[in-house]
Homo-oligomer: A and B are copies of this chain.
Amino acid sequence: MPQFLNSTSADFEARFTELLSMKREDSPDVDAAVAEIIADVRARGDQAVIDLTSKFDRMDLTPATLRFSEAEIEAECAKVSDADRAALELAADRIRAYHSRQMPEDQRWTDESGADLGWRWSAVSAAGLYVPGGLASYPSSVLMNAIPAKVAGVERLAITVPTPGGIANPLVLLAARIAGVDEIYRIGGAQAVAALAYGTDTIVPVDKITGPGNAFVAAAKRRVFGKVGIDMIAGPSEILVIADADNEPDWLALDLMSQAEHDESAQSILITTDEAFGHKVADAVTARLETLERRDIAGASWRDYGAIITVRDLDEAATLSNRIAPEHLELCVADPEALSDKCVHAGAIFLGQFTPEAIGDYVGGPNHVLPTARSARFSSGLSVMDFLKRTTLARMTPGALAAIGPAAETLAISESLEAHGLSVRARLDALND
């Protein structure tokens, strides 16, 4: 059973604060091991990657087989059913359409001093995408990472995906192909991140690395950050559902379980204006947990981190939602738009009872890589912006320099940066001659 809270209880604030500060993740400290792996790959390149792959993935590779050949990719893709292929293509089309609208515009203007100002966006030249192997090898995540990169204009996009024992996931390879990925390497772990960041004889280094992974991958991404850009380090998944009593309890139970089934550390919370309805949802969860394939995982998550909170009204629900800053926020109320306007800290909002969160995981269009652990207070989901950078532009005319240069000189002197001031003064003097 999850926790039941009621905002009218005397102990509510204490219990809610405790819920907020629950530590759900217990990452093993693999930093020292990861530092060694990275140093090894930097020193020995391909051979280190090959040795580590043999050790961790029971795969014997050579420099020539590190990368999937076109024929191998073809052969794997041919194993995918027509239905799965069509679903991936529909998802890819919708994700591409959504993310294409994110492309920002360059700007350029001349201000009243005559200064010509602006900025220009450009794509990262090369990006690497880490794809986990085994159970957490999700083709949908390949689409969600690769498509924004390609929409941004990344010329070279490489994927690494471990194939323990030589087993590849055909759907992952097909998703990569559909998304326009250029290179696929059958390696994983910290060694894959190190190879992408520093390069080997076979793998040309990239400028940015994104994608989920286990503790080794996360530690490696933290360590190579600076040498390359990285996306966020994602924590366990979360959903917050805000619902009035006018909902089908079983639907919401399934939405709550669709996060809980990811991971025992996932967190599913229901906020409702009707306590009795909250209990109906809890009962529906209990019923579903009897048969769900992943009932052990989902059940543990629901028992340890699940919560059903009864509130006085939807304004209170919005206030609590902003304190939670959920990764996923589902608004199953009569006027979800009005409630949405009050929920300012959330990674993704799903409006109305016909928008289960799972739609957003696959085919909605928005990205499913979203800020976890309350970081929606200050960060956003993955987007084309993660594969772009902005160069600012400034061009002074002699007139503009005459107008604003003296203020720059004054400030330079006040900061004791004489050469800064002189670089402006020398030009101003020439203009005055």
Instruction: Report yes or no: B255 in contact with A423, Cβ–Cβ below 8 A.
Output: yes
Q: In the complex, how many angstroms separate the beta carbon of A313 from the nearest chain B beta carbon?
A: 22
Q: Mark A53-92, 1 if CB is under 8 A from B, else 0.
A: 0000000000000000000000000000001101110110
Q: Is A311 interfacial (CB 8 A cutoff)?
A: no
Instruction: Report yes or no: B254 in contact with A140, Cβ–Cβ below 8 A.
Output: no
**Complex CA–CA separation, A358 to B411 (angstroms):** 10
**Complex CA–CA separation, A88 to B407 (angstroms):** 8
Instruction: Report yes or no: A408 in contact with B248, Cβ–Cβ below 8 A.
Output: no
Q: In the complex, how many angstroms separate the beta carbon of A279 from the nearest chain B beta carbon?
A: 19
**Complex CA–CA separation, A240 to B242 (angstroms):** 54
Instruction: Report yes or no: B392 in contact with A367, Cβ–Cβ below 8 A.
Output: yes
Q: In the complex, how many angstroms separate the beta carbon of A398 from the nearest chain B beta carbon?
A: 5
Q: Is A258 interfacial (CB 8 A cutoff)?
A: yes
- Sample of 6 more A-B contacts, CB < 8 Å, known A354-B401, A380-B390: A102-B119, A140-B415, A207-B378, A258-B417, A288-B422, A361-B417
Q: A-side interface residues toward B, CB under 8 Å?
A: 83-84, 86-88, 90-91, 94, 97-98, 101-102, 104, 107, 109, 111, 115-117, 119, 122, 124-125, 135, 138-140, 171, 207-208, 226, 228-229, 233, 248, 250-251, 254-255, 257-258, 260-262, 288, 292-294, 298, 336, 340, 343-367, 370-371, 373, 375-381, 383, 385, 389-398, 400-401, 404-408, 410-412, 414-424, 426-427, 430
Q: List 15 A-B contacts (CB under 8 A).
A: A90-B407, A97-B111, A139-B414, A207-B377, A228-B378, A229-B378, A248-B430, A254-B423, A258-B420, A288-B422, A346-B391, A349-B391, A358-B419, A364-B396, A365-B394
